[in-house]
Structure 1
Amino acid sequence: MTRFLLLCWVTSMCVPALAAEQSTLDPDAPYQAVRSNPVTYKVDFRVVVTAPYKTKVLKVWLPLPESDYGQEVTEGELTTFPVKVEPSIAKEEMFGNKFAYFEFTEPQGALIIRHQFKIKVWELRWNLNPDRVISVSQWPASFDRYRKGESQSVVVDDRFEALFLQIVPQRGNPLRDMWAVMTWVIKNFQYDHADASLQASSVHGLEKRRGHCSDYHGFCAAMGRVMGYPTRVTYGINTFPKNSPSHCKLEVFLPPYGWVSFDVSETQKLIAAIQNDPHMDSTRKDRLTKAALHRLLAGFRDNTWFLQTRGTDYQLAPPASKRVPVVRTIYAEADGVPLPEPDPANKTQRTFAWMTAHHYAPDRPVTDPFEDFTSLERVSLADDARD
């Protein structure tokens, strides 16, 4: 009888704790960040696609940004030139990403797809506290798509587990362990346009330790999955004149904060710019470097980037000839053969299957927080006040 009462008491204590843990575990929950500094952009986004000679059918999938807690989309219009084609709109099944699908029969010369819309974007800050992060003993099946090693992009194998043990010899707090991975990447990876996968390849990151933002964040996503935590690569658009407007970020699900955004590659480039500034003394360089790392590790998403797709390795809607690793600006096929991914920032690349032309008109002046030090000065002063 005593043992029965003891078992009942233990169960009554554990069940509420488990219920509290499970109540925070919803992969579709909205962001839990503090949002501020909204900017509304008028976006004119165009893609010029040139199919190979004598192509019978050109298929193009264009990702469409959607409204969520971090952004609000209005006034969308899709047109084509010189041939008028009405797109079909659909969502793919795995992550719910939304696409406009265009099909051109016997295309002649270059084709232009134009997307005009407004989007209001907030700055998001999570202000992470590692002591609040919950260690999860059992994830619901709804997270499997964010925790499994995939056939392409975010691959997880024994090599990642071995390297993780070198970076984090003894597992501890999940957030602190993830911090260790990201700071290791900042110290050991090199940003490189000429040697990049363009596919969020964790294996490319592991083997080369260089590449694009997607290689940085694909690698970090794999290391997060080694820890057992859901991760995903999110692709979107930077709202500044650039050769290639696409840019990705890492997201890790850290209850009770939910999905948290991190930008490892841009933080690394920002720190390098600080350290190489010839007009800055060492004291200010150290202070701003500390502020850049603090902003990264606290969870930060800027208002100069908007989200288009979440996740990697999925089948498009309607289906393409194969699953896509990621969609950066568009995905296109000519007679069932994928057109090669362009990287206009790669100086050695001279030919492109498509190119983007884009313009963003903000409703107020805005600066890139990964190039302008002003916002870092505010972070630095806040740190000094806390100290």
Structure 2
Amino acid sequence: MPRPLLAAVVLLAGYGLAPRSSAVAPTELTPHQPYEGQFGEPVTYEIDFRAVLTAPYHTEKLRVWIPTPPSDAIQQVVSDRFSTFPAEVEPTHASEPLYGNRFAYFEFDHPQGAQIIRRQLTVVTREVKWGVEAGRVASVDEWPSSFAPYLRTDESVAITPEIEGVVRQVSRPAESGFGNLLNAIDWVDANLTYDHSRASLQASSRHAITQRTGHCSDYHGLCSAFGRALRFPTRVTYGLALVPKNSPSHCKLEAFLPPYGWVSFDVSETQKLIDRIESDKSVPESNRESLGAAARGRLHSGFRESAWLLMTRGADYDLAPPAGRRVNVVRTLYAEADGEPLPEPDPADASQREYGWMTAHRYAASRDTPHPFKDPATLRGWKVDSPVQSAPE
């Protein structure tokens, strides 16, 4: 049965912006536009992160790439220190050319047994509310060439005939381009089921559209493909969820929406939050409906929590220094033993028993903050101004 969906403009109560024109000149656009929005109070996190890598017996060279978080308007890196055990290896640092993602790179020659890489990281992050209003999102007839990486079809974000068919199905001529992007996001919410055991781990829009299941990267890889089919620049952004969980990685969708710039959307976590709200029979049904509508409202207007640290942007690129193959995404790290990738672990998959590497992680925040995707009380202050309807299957 389709989920109830909010096909509406959603506004943050009390968050007003002056109107702007409906079109923007290409010369005014750049993918390097700084993040803008309503920033919350800063939170400082002390992060202790360790990766344990077990290369096959008699490996000659173990190579490891670990992404380095950028500093920007939302997050600032205060310090970032690495150490290794038992072999002592100093990392080098390099940026890949397509998206500018930066990596700490390690080479272990003839590793004997497991190798541990420890990272001690201090960062400052903020919650962001974009308050996107559909009527203010400007149309762009021709995007500058600098946006090409975010409009192309690639190995992860593939725009297939089936994806184009769904875009035609959910698009309504009377709505704005952004309204149709929200329709596509709602289609993902209505038609995909979250399942770690049936995930691609590669932000695969093909996997998501054919299997109708997956985890965060499949959800957001598909949303990214829908956005590109609608001619919005999009990207999958991977980072660390700074809360206790089996796997530290989590990804989101970002879409470039003039004049707001890059705006963050978390479809999978919103879906899981609404599922928890709807299954909580201790809450009156009317309250469950209003909380669910508020959660969709927060999703639609752009939101990013403070307990998430951006690490990489984009998909399907060459690492720096070059690896033996291109990567679709780097969830936490990428490792090769004599040119062969070590398999990606999914510690949230209860059936998995063997790992080429695994992480251990601990986070300490400077102050207590409620988790927006766990605590429905964080939905207070959000409102909707149109009725709920069902999305097509």
TM-score by length of 1: 0.92
Aligned to 1:299: 302
Q: Unaligned stretches of 5+ in structure 1?
A: 1-16
| Aligned Cα root-mean-square deviation (Å) | 1.5
Alpha-carbon deviation of 1:23? 4.5
Q: How many residues align?
A: 365
Q: Give distance in 2, aligned partners of 1:365 and 1:23.
A: 43
Q: 2:216 is aligned with what amino acid?
A: C
Alpha-carbon deviation of 1:241? 1.1
Alpha-carbon deviation of 1:129? 0.8
Aligned to 1:191: 194
Aligned to 2:347: 344
The answer on 1:99 being equivalent to 2:103 is yes
Partner deviation per Cα, 1:78-121 (whole Å, 9 max, x = no partner):
11011100100111110001100000001111111011111100
Q: For 1:111-126, list aligned pairs within 5 A.
A: 111-126=115-130
Aligned to 1:249: 252
Q: Give distance in 1, aligned partners of 2:170 and 2:156.
A: 22
For residue 90 of structure 2, give the secondary structure of its aligned residue in structure 1: coil
Moved more, 168-177 or 139-148: 168-177
Distance 1:205 1:19, change over 3 A: closer
Moved more, 24-33 or 236-245: 24-33
Alpha-carbon deviation of 1:122? 0.5
Alpha-carbon deviation of 1:367? 2.3
Q: 1:118 is aligned with what amino acid?
A: T
Alpha-carbon deviation of 1:164? 1.0
The answer on 1:361 being equivalent to 2:364 is yes
Q: Give distance in 2, aligned partners of 1:31 and 1:46.
A: 30
The answer on 1:165 being equivalent to 2:168 is yes
Maintained 8 Å contact 2:27/2:144: no
The answer on 1:32 being equivalent to 2:36 is yes
Flag as ranges the 4+ runs of structure 1 deviating above 4 A: 17-20
TM-score by length of 2: 0.91
Q: Unaligned stretches of 5+ in structure 2?
A: 1-20, 386-393
Q: Give distance in 1, aligned partners of 2:24 and 2:369.
A: 41
Maintained 8 Å contact 2:24/2:140: no
Maintained 8 Å contact 2:235/2:255: yes
For residue 25 of structure 2, give the secondary structure of its aligned residue in structure 1: helix
For residue 37 of structure 1, give the secondary structure of its aligned residue in structure 2: coil
Q: For 1:1-387, list aligned pairs within 5 A.
A: 20-150=24-154, 152-170=155-173, 172-380=175-383
Q: 2:122 is aligned with what amino acid?
A: K
Once the two structures are aligned, what percentage of the paired residues are identical?
51
Q: Give distance in 2, aligned partners of 1:378 and 1:356.
A: 37
Q: Give distance in 2, aligned partners of 1:20 and 1:373.
A: 37
Distance 1:94 1:68, change over 3 A: same
- The higher-RCO structure (CA 8 Å, 6+ apart) is 2
Distance 1:379 1:341, change over 3 A: same
Maintained 8 Å contact 2:23/2:139: no
Q: Give distance in 1, aligned partners of 2:57 and 2:172.
A: 56
Higher helix share: 1
Maintained 8 Å contact 1:24/1:256: no
Maintained 8 Å contact 2:370/2:378: no
Maintained 8 Å contact 1:77/1:117: yes
Distance 1:22 1:90, change over 3 A: same
Alpha-carbon deviation of 1:190? 0.2
Q: 1:322 is aligned with what amino acid?
A: R
Q: 1:45 is aligned with what amino acid?
A: F
Maintained 8 Å contact 1:79/1:114: yes
For residue 60 of structure 1, give the secondary structure of its aligned residue in structure 2: strand
